[in-house]
Chain A
Amino acid sequence: MANSSASKPKSVEVRNSTTTQPMTTMSVLAPALGWLIPGAGHLIQKRWIRGLLIMFSITTMFFLGLAMQGRVYRPNGGDILDILGFVGDLGAGGLYIVTRVMDWGQGAIAHATADYGTKFIIVAGLLNFISVADAYHIAIGKKP
């Protein structure tokens, strides 16, 4: 009986220490900047090599997709795959915004590689979501 009452507060304490994350300016700024400019979330935290590699990979992948005449999805409420395509594209942040402003990514059906391009663009956005999460983990001290 004494043991069970003694162990109860301990478990509560452990749960609190694992769920509570310190909310700092960097923990908000790094993911936001990382979303807007791929790799910038790492660069702002002085992870130079990681940041530059992420920036190079995601940006190159996105522009290769555009160069292959890939399609950029617009906000839509139709087919579930179109909605998911839009969510994936949106992950590229600033690249997606620039593409929409410049009216790129119309998707020429004449090219056989256009479908690969569409997938490159979506995956670049999804990879940026992962890098944003990584930048957040670095900012809160969960990852070195």
Chain B
Amino acid sequence: MILGKTILGEMILAQMTLELSHFSAALLFSAFASIVFGITQRNSAREQIRYGLYCFAMFVGGVFAAGWVMWLLRR
């Protein structure tokens, strides 16, 4: 039974191997985290949307800022 589950799990995972770039992974991460932050950290619907967008902008801005810092360090 356990062997069957393992084989089934391996087959499913083997078919759905996903290789995202660092940037697209960061964008997805930002989007999902911002949705949850917006909903949980503010009360009204308007505030939630605004805060979610703010978090998303901060995440993406942070990615670009970190990218430029790394570029400068590499030079």
Residues of A within 8 A of B (CB): 50, 53-54, 56-58, 60-61, 64, 66-69, 101-104, 108, 111-113, 116, 119-120, 123-124, 127, 130-131, 133-134, 143-144
A113 engages B6 (CB within 8 Å): no
A67 engages B16 (CB within 8 Å): yes
Residues of B within 8 A of A (CB): 2, 5-6, 8-10, 12-13, 16-20, 22, 25, 28-29, 31-33, 35-37, 39-40, 43-44
Shortest Cβ-Cβ A-B pairs, 7 listed = A67-B18, A134-B40, A102-B9, A57-B32, A127-B36, A57-B35, A103-B6
B8 engages A102 (CB within 8 Å): yes
- Residues of chain B within 8 A of A50, CB atoms compared: 39
Q: How far is the CA of A133 from the CA of B37 in the complex (A)?
A: 12
B29 engages A123 (CB within 8 Å): yes
B32 engages A101 (CB within 8 Å): no
Dominant secondary structure of chain A at its interface with chain B? helix
* Residue in contact with A143 in the complex, picked from B5, B18, B37, B43, CB distance below 8 Å: B43
* Closest A residue to B26 using CB positions: A116
- Residues of chain B within 8 A of A56, CB atoms compared: 35
A58 engages B17 (CB within 8 Å): no
24 contacts between A and B (CB under 8 A): A53-B35, A56-B35, A57-B33, A57-B36, A58-B32, A58-B36, A61-B32, A64-B18, A64-B28, A67-B16, A67-B17, A68-B17, A68-B18, A69-B13, A101-B5, A102-B5, A111-B17, A112-B19, A113-B25, A116-B20, A116-B25, A123-B33, A130-B36, A134-B39
